Structure 1
């Protein structure tokens, strides 16, 4: 604040504004504006007021969410080619008894649940062995065979746990299993959950709203007077049991907090609440018994299954069909490899190709895509010539060959990036996730700025502001050097203040609930400005006090109303959509703040000073209320260092849709598999 006031005073004297009343008026307005951050940015995080005309019932919200989720995951299934050429017949068997509830206790818990069992007891399995199955059996296992409808899905890396969860999600969303207004499944990646600091239901609410902004609206019949901390549709859906959570990736949490995560699930979701949890087998066992003499934490009322590896015949049949065999093309392409696997089904090569991940890598490397010629791609016989001394050696070869295959030239889809560029960009992103973000799997654009300290981002913004202000100084007739330096000082000070009061954090995601909504903060903001203007303006005369107070009240009321606006679309936001929303928030806040402060100060003194103060306050509001500027600044710095492309979002979308390197989960991207992320993070790409 001191820097801003000094800069304003310096500009006043430089322009010859030596009247004490004008100085007092400007200082009063600016001080009133800078006194609003706690109010304004509290308003960004809270929402007051009654439900508007757009409020919907819980049943309607559930139906809209179900339809949007179905479309989203059907599209993602096509991108991931989970059904091309056909769904892999992943099979499973009952998990070790130590991983699940005793079957007799599980049956008793379902029978004694309030209101009785949620499914037909005559269709319950007689014991854990009754859970064995494959493919589409997963829906019957979850809905009918398990008395409590609580399931743990275990498996080795790449075994297909997420794929099975997506298959179950789509089955539960189908009209055959879901009635209008009924519960619906939602996939929650657990990697961003911190059970030591976050409430599980609050975290689930945030995930729902970030992906489906319309769920931030108030639920019909729940208003400001309800006494609830969160009256959103998302929280109401969760609290009323209309969301079936599919928690993916317990193993992606740090080892020390996994037992806390299980305890959070027990506390937040009672034993009669359906859920699914996936994890790697060893990591789940460690979570149940974290250390010697430590308290054992078990997930209440769950049955467990373990995914089985694919046998050699299933693997080679899938690869052969994907290559086009059986249609007169590429006959015998995989025959030598198939013979080798059948001769030694326990070999390291057979083990590497026994998972959906291994088959995905192999098909990408050795099978032609539509429009490609087999003469232009490696032949599967190359697998018989590589180092096959261990499974790790075979998998290392597949990971090394994957990116060259994903980015090989294609006549129908020319790639704007060379293989060398793509490898460098993806390796940086992998190291960013592993080193900067402690192994998080989420490539979230708002976390890109974590690569730099905030001061470096502000200095970069200040440098850009210097160039802009010098040009503005020439156009407006200001002293080029002095005016430019003062403007940059204002810009940097305002950006610093905005960063300190920002209502969002790199790990929580953009605040999409910023907008204009008349509410109590309008009154409080106007009142704060009025009082501040009177108190600060009175020493310089009654007239100055009145004009300063009126101007500050107008700005305070306008700033106080900048809260709680929620996009009304029922479609899921993509990463690009979320970036667009946040950019609009930044621009809207900047224009609103600049016009408000600039008009008040400009009318009271000089229009040049109004421009200066408008620039400062608009920058303050925008940098505090949106993440777009942090992302854009970091992206340009990284692009200048050749660590990322200039058009990053286009690169990520291409890696997702056309290359299969990334997958999309809501508003973030992930590497196709965590093992691929860790492989790239260790890769030396200069």
Structure 2
């Protein structure tokens, strides 16, 4: 690269050896800065800067953010519209739960004694049966250890029940200020063979609430991203009550490891909830011929029951507005079939909250829709109803067309064909590129491309622009454009290679100046690099270059792309905007600082080029917005994603019900829907997910 720069400068008339040496020294010093930039990027994980928060304040902020999030999500999911489904449950069998006498012993021997009143404990597991709002009493009072396993068939309402329990635990009449806060963790993204459970929980907290990267008041940051952050401290101090959702969504080979990880991370008196499909949980605990059985310690269990036929009919008719105008009797023929055979595959599918959600979305008119524009429920009588799988496959197949049918209040800017293509790509992206994980995060869209493709794409565009400029303005303009593109690509390569683009760190919230020892280290290393690289071209040039490199090195050591903050980022759009501002701030600071420094005493255009290159290096290494933007444009040009991706995701969440939002990431409404869209021929997705994440 130095030879190329020398040749270009010589062609432009810089023919004095002293000038060329000075230029080479400056560029060489610039290329010697990446190790210093790595020092600056280490600060992404938090520092001992002022502004730390106490754990009591942090857990209250987390509880409030969680409550707002899930209350809003409950409205979007229409969990209470037209009324909450009366999901009921019975106690699980002894093969699932701990012996009741042991549960009482565990609770009585816990440090500080039981966490609830003994007088509310039931005498045995048979006292756990209930329905609806009873779940909070079951968890808080009836179970001595407050450790619960929720089992049920696919789509039986396990996640819905966990959301209701979470909101109940956040009510002021239960939770005191500074007390533990519940948090819903989707186990589908946990790989127990590669991750520690508490570290993974910390990552999930930070991913959904980036403000939890802030340092804890009075705690140092240690030597890595796990030490000193609010998220880690909340997990380690027991201020987060984990609600683990979807053990069955973990590949079968890993489920036993998950149970073992939970046993190792939490003692038998620490409260938690875990949900799973009944069959998959039973298979998890079956030991191999040469291994002992693994079961969750200190837990009681309940099994969700299917809804009754009359409950299903009443709910669907009420949601359709039965008794009001043209909707009267809309479900009458289907109701007769269900009453005649309450154990038919159709009845089994509709007896689950998931089946009811699909049916009401497809066959019931929404506000502003006419009944004539909506498919009639009688269509269910003419499909293949030979098995539960065929009925579910039909509902999944017609769900997306129903979600994107024309609506008078929420017009859709995409055609049904486009929406299906975009959703299919996103589902396959999660299944193939992200190992079946449920989190649809905007900064992981770039996983569809290799780093070199992300760098070459804007480089090719820059070369085309340079060629056009050369044709219009003359060939010297082409040479200048090529030089600029080469510098930008080189800076982007270095920034990409040294940037900590890890799932833990994620996007940035803001930038700032953080005084720390790395400022002095960066300045000293920059001075040494500048002197060494400039010395062959004269002492005066070496001193000039060394001082310039020292200034820029100090900047690299003190500038942080992620100043910890306690201000919440409420949505994926907010996080994208914050990371974009961080990118612009890093680029501007680097360019405006390094440009004048390197341009002093040489030529202005050289300072401009150096500032441009250094600003690009800082920005590409310290923010993820550019990766997302390049990947989004490439995928949109190929027709795989819309040009306005965030608008599409928000519409799919708020108006279509295809996606749900968890913190700053999206998920498909149900993991089965994600797997169906990715692999219609294998809607369970078990083989694909297991194959990609096998050890």
TM-score range relative to shorter protein:
over 0.9
Could you tell me which residue of structure 2 aligns to residue 548 of structure 1?
545
Quote the RMSD (CA, aligned, Å): 2.4
Could you tell me which residue of structure 1 aligns to residue 688 of structure 2?
none
Deviations 1:531-580 (CA, angstroms, capped at 9, x unpaired): 21122223333322222121111111111122263363543431212221
Could you tell me which residue of structure 1 aligns to residue 343 of structure 2?
346
Could you tell me which residue of structure 2 aligns to residue 682 of structure 1?
679
Could you tell me which residue of structure 2 aligns to residue 601 of structure 1?
598
Task: Choose from 362, 372, 375 the match for 2:359.
Answer: 362
In 1, Cα distance between equivalents of 2:238 and 2:561: 25
Could you tell me which residue of structure 2 aligns to residue 247 of structure 1?
244
- Secondary structure of 1:99 counterpart: coil
- Secondary structure of 1:98 counterpart: coil
Could you tell me which residue of structure 2 aligns to residue 310 of structure 1?
307
Could you tell me which residue of structure 2 aligns to residue 118 of structure 1?
115
- Secondary structure of 1:153 counterpart: strand
- Secondary structure of 1:679 counterpart: helix
TM-score between the two structures when normalised by the length of structure 1? 0.94
Q: 1:572 to 1:629 in 2, by over 3 A?
A: closer
Deviations 1:95-142 (CA, angstroms, capped at 9, x unpaired): 232222222222211111111111111211212222111111111111
Could you tell me which residue of structure 1 aligns to residue 391 of structure 2?
394
Could you tell me which residue of structure 2 aligns to residue 415 of structure 1?
412
- Secondary structure of 1:247 counterpart: strand
Could you tell me which residue of structure 1 aligns to residue 444 of structure 2?
447
Could you tell me which residue of structure 2 aligns to residue 436 of structure 1?
433
In 1, Cα distance between equivalents of 2:195 and 2:40: 21
Tell me whether 1:499 sits opposite 2:496 in the alignment: yes
Tell me whether 1:377 sits opposite 2:366 in the alignment: no
- Secondary structure of 1:669 counterpart: strand
Could you tell me which residue of structure 1 aligns to residue 649 of structure 2?
652
In 2, Cα distance between equivalents of 1:191 and 1:234: 20
Deviations 1:266-310 (CA, angstroms, capped at 9, x unpaired): 222222221111222222233323533233222221222221111
In 2, Cα distance between equivalents of 1:562 and 1:517: 6
In 2, Cα distance between equivalents of 1:124 and 1:208: 32
Task: Choose from 460, 481, 484 the match for 2:481.
Answer: 484
Q: 1:312 to 1:85 in 2, by over 3 A?
A: same
- Secondary structure of 2:155 counterpart: coil
Q: 1:478 to 1:288 in 2, by over 3 A?
A: farther
**Residues 33 and 556 in structure 1, CA contact (< 8 A), matched pair in contact too:** no
Single out whichever of 277-286 and 380-389 deviates more from structure 2.
Answer: 277-286
Could you tell me which residue of structure 2 aligns to residue 323 of structure 1?
320
**Residues 169 and 182 in structure 2, CA contact (< 8 A), matched pair in contact too:** yes
Structure 2: runs of 5 or more not aligned: 682-695
In 2, Cα distance between equivalents of 1:165 and 1:520: 46
After superposition, where does 1:122-161 map in structure 2 within 5 Å? 122-161=119-158
Tell me whether 1:70 sits opposite 2:67 in the alignment: yes
In 1, Cα distance between equivalents of 2:662 and 2:46: 31
**Residues 591 and 614 in structure 2, CA contact (< 8 A), matched pair in contact too:** yes
In 2, Cα distance between equivalents of 1:226 and 1:396: 51
Task: Choose from 197, 200, 203 the match for 2:200.
Answer: 203
In 1, Cα distance between equivalents of 2:434 and 2:221: 37
Could you tell me which residue of structure 1 aligns to residue 100 of structure 2?
103
Single out whichever of 107-116 and 593-602 deviates more from structure 2.
Answer: 593-602
Tell me whether 1:289 sits opposite 2:250 in the alignment: no
Could you tell me which residue of structure 1 aligns to residue 666 of structure 2?
669
In 1, Cα distance between equivalents of 2:271 and 2:509: 30
Tell me the CA shift for residue 327 of structure 1. Answer: 4.7
In 1, Cα distance between equivalents of 2:159 and 2:131: 15
Tell me the CA shift for residue 437 of structure 1. Answer: 2.2
- Secondary structure of 2:667 counterpart: strand
**Residues 22 and 604 in structure 1, CA contact (< 8 A), matched pair in contact too:** no
TM-score between the two structures when normalised by the length of structure 2? 0.92
Q: 1:483 to 1:6 in 2, by over 3 A?
A: same
Structure 1: runs of 5 or more not aligned: none
Single out whichever of 329-338 and 281-290 deviates more from structure 2.
Answer: 281-290
- Secondary structure of 2:513 counterpart: coil
Tell me the CA shift for residue 511 of structure 1. Answer: 4.7
After superposition, where does 1:83-94 map in structure 2 within 5 Å? 83-94=80-91
After superposition, where does 1:503-514 map in structure 2 within 5 Å? 503-505=500-502, 509-512=506-509
Could you tell me which residue of structure 2 aligns to residue 40 of structure 1?
37
- Secondary structure of 1:74 counterpart: helix
Q: 1:622 to 1:225 in 2, by over 3 A?
A: closer
Task: Choose from 313, 322, 333 the match for 1:336.
Answer: 333
Deviations 1:54-85 (CA, angstroms, capped at 9, x unpaired): 33322122222211211111111100111101
Q: 1:551 to 1:39 in 2, by over 3 A?
A: closer
Task: Choose from 261, 264, 268 the match for 1:267.
Answer: 264
After superposition, where does 1:524-673 map in structure 2 within 5 Å? 524-563=521-560, 565-566=562-563, 568-673=565-670
Single out whichever of 329-338 and 503-512 deviates more from structure 2.
Answer: 503-512
Could you tell me which residue of structure 2 aligns to residue 189 of structure 1?
186
Could you tell me which residue of structure 2 aligns to residue 18 of structure 1?
15
Task: Choose from 160, 169, 174 the match for 1:172.
Answer: 169
Tell me the CA shift for residue 469 of structure 1. Answer: 4.7
In 2, Cα distance between equivalents of 1:45 and 1:281: 44
- How many residues align structurally? 680
